[in-house]
């Protein structure tokens, strides 16, 4: 059996840290090479082996894939929705050029499997709002969403044309206690917990009734590993799979937090991110993922809030 050598690109991010750790548990610490544009100086010991890589440097990426004999790539580096609106051209260049380099080099060096995440940001104001279907109107309104929609078709193109086994998920907003969120429209749902455990009031940048699809990181990591483990012939969607777990508004999340932190207060001051959120679905139909590779979420809102507060309090005390 060939031993896997896995490259994670964007390993220092909100998803990257947790996905790298999960892959190392599964494949072994040395078999998973973490990479990111971030300098090595601030990294904890568990991030090694680590390689500092600017993924837009295609020559450096090629050398790494060739020299390390990479067999699988998880390409997570991207500029997210809110940051992308402040810097559209840079977001497009990073998100698109890096994906095309990864796809091209994966074919050239016979990389066996590639994971690249898409997002609910591919949907737009004319998409169905409730139970948004796998296939339907997309029409993204952010440069981030446009890059994800185009990226999905590039993934399918490389699968159809070159047989590259590239797999993808349209992640909803992800909630985790380890890393800071990276400039997305759903970041409020992480920041709110930090304020709750620090006994500080929270100012929410979305309106109280803005319902968005969300997921606890533990579920998202498991979904990613399950999709990548699925037999090739079960992965029927070669753009990206819809994936769902929770849908809630800032108000519903606050009510759940208040059950455990009774004095917690939230005020609402919507900013430019409200318009992005308004263009996104409220809930997602993920029946294709459930049917094709058996996806099922484990965390409901109550369980997620309990787990987030518990873990953040523990981190605060240590
Ligand atoms: P993040 O912003 O937290 O992490 C991205 C990482 O990429 C950072 O560590 C950053 O340093 C690194 N990076 C940036 N530019 C780079 C470059 N030129 N070369 C190498 N590394 C570079 O993002 P995240 O939340 O971890 O998201 C990871 C992926 O998942 C992205 O593709 C994102 O679009 C997708 N996604 C995330 C969410 C979410 O809620 N977090 C939802 C949907 C999709």
Q: What is the pLDDT of residues 277-310, one digit of tens each?
A: 999 999 999 999 999 999 999 999 999 999 999 9
Given this model, what pLDDT does residue 40 score?
86
* Whole-angstrom distance, CA of residue 53 vs CA of residue 41: 14
Q: Is the C-beta atom of 10 inside 6 A of ligand 1?
A: yes
- Report the 10 Å Cβ neighbour count for 186: 28
Q: Is the C-beta atom of 235 inside 6 A of ligand 1?
A: no
Q: What is the pLDDT of residues 169-226, one digit of tens each?
A: 999 999 999 977 778 999 999 999 999 999 999 999 999 999 999 999 999 999 999 9
What pTM value is reported for the model? Answer: 0.97
Q: What is the pLDDT of residues 241-284, one digit of tens each?
A: 999 999 999 999 999 999 999 999 999 999 999 999 999 999 99
Q: What separation in Å is there between the alpha carbon of 42 and the centre of ligand 1?
A: 18
Atom of ligand 1 nearest to the CA of 79: 2
Which of 43, 53, 78 maximizes ligand 1 atoms within 8 Å of its Cβ, making it the mutation to test the pocket?
Answer: 78
pLDDT at position 49 over 70: yes
pLDDT at position 1 over 70: no
Average per-residue pLDDT in the chain? 96
Write down the domain spans for the chain: 6-173+216-242, 174-214+245-317
Given this model, what pLDDT does residue 179 score?
78
Q: Is the C-beta atom of 87 inside 6 A of ligand 1?
A: no
Domain 174-214+245-317 has CATH 3.30.460.20: no
* Tally of CA atoms within 13 A in the half-sphere of 298 that contains its CB: 9
Domain 6-173+216-242 has CATH 3.40.50.720: yes
Q: Which band of pLDDT confidence, cut at 50, 70 and 90, is reported for residue 41? A: confident
Q: What is the pLDDT of residues 209-222, one digit of tens each?
A: 999 999 999 999 99
pLDDT at position 18 over 90: yes
- Report the 10 Å Cβ neighbour count for 14: 24
Atom of ligand 1 nearest to the CA of 187: 40
Positive/negative CA dihedral, 277, 279, 283, 286:
negative
Q: What is the pLDDT of residues 98-109, one digit of tens each?
A: 999 999 999 999
Q: What separation in Å is there between the alpha carbon of 14 and the centre of ligand 1?
A: 7
- Same CATH topology for 6-173+216-242 and 174-214+245-317: the answer is no
* Whole-angstrom distance, CA of residue 237 vs CA of residue 23: 23
Which of 7, 12, 15 maximizes ligand 1 atoms within 8 Å of its Cβ, making it the mutation to test the pocket?
Answer: 15
Q: Is the C-beta atom of 77 inside 6 A of ligand 1?
A: yes
157: annotated active-site residue: no
Q: Both tokens of residue 12?
A: 């220092």
Percent of the chain with pLDDT over 70: 100
Given this model, what pLDDT does residue 182 score?
78
Q: Is the C-beta atom of 78 inside 6 A of ligand 1?
A: yes
């Amino acid at each position: 059996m060939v031993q896997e050598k896995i490259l994670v690109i964007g390993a220092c991010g909100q998803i990257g840290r947790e996905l790298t750790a999960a892959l190392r548990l599964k494949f072994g610490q040395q078999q998973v090479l973490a990479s990111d544009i971030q300098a090595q100086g601030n990294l904890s010991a568990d991030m090694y082996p680590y390689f500092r890589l600017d993924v837009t440097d295609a020559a450096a990426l090629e050398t790494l894939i060739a020299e390390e004999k990479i067999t699988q790539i998880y390409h997570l580096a991207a500029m997210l929705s809110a940051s992308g609106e402040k810097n559209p051209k840079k977001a497009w260049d990073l998100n698109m050029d890096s994906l095309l380099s990864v796809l091209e080099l994966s074919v050239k060096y016979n990389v066996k499997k590639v994971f690249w995440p898409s997002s609910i940001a591919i949907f737009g104001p004319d998409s169905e709002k409730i139970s948004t279907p796998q296939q339907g109107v997309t029409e993204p309104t952010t440069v981030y969403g446009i890059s994800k929609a185009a990226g999905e078709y590039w993934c399918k193109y490389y699968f159809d044309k070159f047989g590259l086994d590239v797999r993808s998920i349209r992640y909803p907003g992800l909630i985790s206690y380890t890393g800071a969120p990276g400039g997305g429209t759903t970041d409020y749902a992480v920041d709110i917990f930090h304020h709750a455990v620090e006994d500080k009031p929270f100012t929410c940048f979305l309106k109280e009734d803005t319902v968005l699809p969300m997921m606890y990181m533990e579920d998202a990591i498991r979904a990613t590993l399950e999709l990548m483990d699925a037999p090739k012939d079960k992965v029927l969607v070669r753009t990206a799979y819809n994936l769902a777990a929770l849908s809630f508004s800032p108000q519903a999340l606050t009510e759940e937090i208040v059950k455990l932190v009774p004095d917690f207060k939230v005020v609402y001051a919507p900013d430019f991110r409200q318009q992005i959120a308004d263009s996104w679905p409220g809930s997602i139909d993920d029946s294709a993922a459930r049917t094709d590779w058996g996806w099922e979420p484990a965390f409901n809102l109550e369980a997620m809030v309990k787990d987030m507060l518990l873990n953040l309090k523990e981190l605060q005390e240590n």
